[in-house]
Structure 1
Amino acid sequence: MPASERQPNRLMTEAATLSERAALLVEQDILAGHLAPGSRLGIIDLVQRYEIGATPLREGLSRLMSRGLIVGIGQRGFRVADISREDLLDITTMRTAVEIEAIRLAIVNGDDAWEAGILSALHQMRRHIERTGDEFREGAEDFDRLHKGFHTALLAACGSKRLLAAHSDLYDQAYRYRRVMMRSVDSGKKFVRAHQLLADRIIARDIPGSQAMLTSHLRSTMDFVYPPGNES
């Protein structure tokens, strides 16, 4: 390939990498609560905050718009998406639709390695909670990775990259709400037990039972953050 063709390709790759990094940094600050719901995202402020150019920052913010973490405000730029009962209900409805189909496919297609992956992910999460006692929380990097890893392992054998990508995005979109719920979790044993029961039902290849239990599990965040009868 002529050098004149290689140079533009290299620059395009570098630009993509910068925009991906910008999206990741902003996403991390939104999920951690450093950028509050509804807060305005000024390009100049973000350039200084992350030391990334304005163009890749705008591209990174556009990526996050497609994932529902930020919204555009016309010619005025961007702001962090608000949190609300309606938003969590929408996330939960979509996540349930995606995951009950993904779990059905995973149970149909999953092999021994898939089952072992679930048990390994559960074991790692349990051991982390045993080491940290009842102080484990969403927002701790190790716990976040292990918790999401467990839920991803359940669906890993579904055979659909798009279902898994949708699960990952929706899981992250629910993160801000899940952090609220997790503040009240005072028993690591109960937390592990709930995930153990879910894993057992799925490994038993009980499709209707697994789908019902998974639906209830996903709904638990909604029921806690916005209890029925207290929806104002």
Structure 2
Amino acid sequence: MSARDNILQRLRERSSAPQPAPLSDFSVVTGRQWTAEERVAHFERWISSVHGEIIHCRKDNWREALVGILSDKGVQRLALGRTNDVAREAREWLGENSVELVDVDRDIGDWQREMFERVDAGLTSTLGAIAETGSLWLWPTPDEPRLLSLVPPLHIAVLDADRIEDTLFDVMSRHGWAEGMPTNALLISGPSKTADIEQTLAYGVHGPRELVILLRH
């Protein structure tokens, strides 16, 4: 019986009583069974194909890699949180450098112009990534508001390789999104991009022109 036939049959048999949810086959959206190395390879392939830049580093030297990125990109003002592990470690390491650290735990109405015009880059942690689509996933918090990854021209994201999962379905099921999902979960697959009617692709029109991922192993 086709999906259309199933729907029509349920409509014909409908009564005033609550209808149980039909059985669903989720095998097409999960079950990739990739190894850890394959997940990294898939993720890097897809996010690099849309101009995402991957910097491989170790968990004990990622801050040195961050300093190198800031120097190479000419970043003078870096926006970041305070309390999450990535922001806290970055603040400790960058305290002696010339980069000005910009606090984001403020009412955006008080510093909107500063955020849009004077911040060179935003640094965020990530909760993981999706190998199949080459996507990061973030849950904004007061410490890391969504503007931190959506407004500055450069978004620097820190990702642990062991948090890359096969598919979006695997992320949603493993992390219990059905029981508690935020008002907005961000899926980031490369820098901001758009196209005009002639299909000419442009980067950075509505958000970051560059996305750099510090992939920690």
Normalising by structure 1, report the TM-score. 0.23
Structure number with higher relative contact order (C-alpha < 8 Å, ≥ 6 residues apart):
2
| Greater helix proportion | 1
